[in-house]
Structure 1
């Protein structure tokens, strides 16, 4: 499905518009709820840019394309957006999809600012054209591993589906835990029923199960099976990829969905800009905004500053990442070269391990910051 340009975000301020392509998962099998939050943040920021004069008097316009979590569809969308003359491409939530989009954008000489995907190897070779706001997976998942160790967990099981992203996460956890006496047992979530996963957890004497799987299936049935198995009372369920962040998790699982630690990329306190944006996003979404919505807003804040400074020239944008210094919703954004990361990286995005409070599932508890 091709999504038309955002009407709310294209209010004219004079002259032809400066276009940004936005890659967003809006339909299944993509994580549509995350896509909706990402688009809300992108859209709000574009409206605010236009309310303050646009880009040198020209309106900023989003040209939105639904990736539906399909790497080939994302690559085709980048081709189309390049033909449409966008100044840059932004967005995407799914790491494998973002990797395909980054590779195609790099090949076309099109700047790409990745909002939310974390896979360390976003491009196979170092590139000047791609930058990223989300922390690399190795950093966030190491913080999560340290949280597990600090909570006394050394016998960890992961229920995983086949994916480069899940395999990378498992490797990061294993490498972080093993030198400290931790073990990680991998369970094939496609081959095993929820009941068989429970049996394996008992046999392994695991104290924690991490869900490296899609939502709602098989994540929801796995949570329900573990919660209802008296042999597993006291077992910690974790979801490092962030499934419990979104309201659909709580709606489907109720109290069973609380007390499940996950990663999110927010500071303990938002910047003054972030506090204002939070209020606006809450009104726009009719619910609390997730960290993904803030990533969307910050994406446009960075691109607007780059476009104001360098104009809509693609080569100028691609060469500008090193000079970015933008106050975002979650801190001051600067890009640098990080060892092992092939793209320009916001070096210190905030990382938290949080869960939904079992006494009040609408409230999030911060368990660790990194």
Structure 2
């Protein structure tokens, strides 16, 4: 393992805080609502850890940095947090940002537990410094592809913006669906206006349109255009990346935002811990917590367990990933080496395909599980 001079400092007994660096998108162009839920989960868990006595008597403290969906800014934050002496990194929602943070953490020898970024290739080569809670993109999106096939969709258009993440998603869908009789039609949103998408859907005889685009734009404009085009009354709109999970989606789209299936990483029933945490998160957020908030909570729960058992030495934290066994809000968390994944991976939390009920847009329906 790579180590830095600050990675193996002696354990302190003076009651000073044990610090965790938290990477969170809190400003545009980051997905602010996702960042707010992630931070709420992280902070709620820190409060619970400290209420239970902290880390062998020392308080746990988050040192939060806003990544704003900017890979360069995230890498700079990792450098800063490493110099500040944090024991480990936590968080991040955007995959391309988490990839930059993971590369820098690996280079510095700083443990990083990624909460919510699903890109399979989180690092270019295998690393012992990085672990991940959320499922890899290939795992979740193949489950989504099974849902599409089961719903009778074989001609599937993807409205995609240029991005490593969106390109990976389109490739996963294409590679999985093609041997099973499905066709993926890629619509380049770098060249098409949202209104032009409708003509392309008609021309290609697509029965489903997947939004592989940023939120709120152009996703909201695409939905509005498609919903109002009578030629496309029967087409299914989907959003595997999870945009409809958040309240902002319903606020911006109203009824037009319902019946749009998306991926979420929740079991059908939360654990007893999950039920208690859900109540606390709802109070903190003023709304129903998303799966991202639970990911934040579980991230700190794992790191707190590791810190209690192995101390705040960075090398020992990284060495502990294969020995983790923590009861989280969504099940028992263990990390392993998974084929095709370069980091320590929880394989896997439960995956749902859900949507907002057209009759009650604030209620979710579970359509498929995997």
C-alpha deviations, 1:52-89, integer Å up to 9, x for none? 11001000000000000000000000000000000000
Q: TM-score, normalised by structure 1?
A: 0.96
Q: Which residue matches 2:38?
A: 38
1:103 is aligned to: 103
**Correspondence for 1:142:** 142
When the two structures are superposed, what TM-score results if normalisation uses the length of structure 2?
Answer: 0.96
Would you say 1:272 and 2:309 are equivalent positions?
no
State the SS of the aligned residue for 1:267.
coil
User: Structure 1 pair 65/233, CA: closer, same or farther in 2 (3 Å)?
Assistant: same
- Aligned mates of 2:193, 2:302 — CA distance in 1: 45
1:14 deviates by 7.2
> Are positions 1:173 and 2:173 aligned together?
yes
Is 1:63 matched with 2:63?
yes
Q: State the secondary structure of the residue aligned to 1:278.
A: helix
SS in 1 for 2:167: helix
Structure 2 matches for 1:1-370, cutoff 5 A?
A: 15-370=15-370
- Quote the Cα distance in structure 2 between the aligned partners of 1:105 and 1:193: 39
Cα distance in 2 between the residues matched to 1:146 and 1:60: 42
1:19-44 per-residue CA deviation (whole Å, 9 max, x = no partner) reads 00000000000000000000000000
Distance in 1 between the 2:52 and 2:225 partners?
A: 52
Moved over 2 A (4+): none
SS at match of 2:165: helix
> How far, CA to CA, are the matches of 2:90 and 2:193 in structure 1?
38
The residue matched to 2:23 in structure 1 has which SS? strand
1:18 to partner: Cα distance: 0.2
Matches of 1:158 and 1:352 in 2, distance apart?
Answer: 20
Cα deviation, residue 190, structure 1: 2.2
Q: CA RMSD in A?
A: 0.8
Q: Is the 8 A contact 1:20 1:87 kept in 2?
A: yes
SS in 1 for 2:184: strand
Q: Is the CA contact 1:153–1:208 (under 8 Å) kept in the aligned structure 2?
A: yes
Residues 14 and 57, structure 1, Cα contact 8 Å, conserved in 2: no
Q: Secondary structure at the match of 1:350?
A: coil
Structure 1 residues 254 and 182, CA, compared in 2 at 3 Å: closer, same or farther? same
CA distance in 1, matches of 2:62, 2:364: 32
Q: Deviation per CA, 1:82-132, whole angstroms, max 9, x where unpaired?
A: 000000000000000000000000000000000000000000010001000
Equivalences, count: 358
Separation in 2 of the partners of 1:70 and 1:348?
28
Distance 2:218 2:189 in 1: 8
- Any idea what SS the aligned residue of 2:172 has? helix
1:348 Cα deviation from its structure 2 partner: 1.4
Cα separation, 2, equivalents of 1:116 and 1:216? 19
Tell me, in whole angstroms, the C-alpha distance in 1 between the residues paired with 2:275 and 2:41.
13
CA distance in structure 2 between the partners assigned to 1:367 and 1:321 by the alignment: 33
Q: Distance in 1 between matches of 2:205 and 2:105?
A: 46
1:154-178 deviation per Cα after TM superposition (whole angstroms, max 9, x unaligned): 0000000000000000000001110
> Where do 5+ consecutive residues of structure 2 fail to align?
1-12
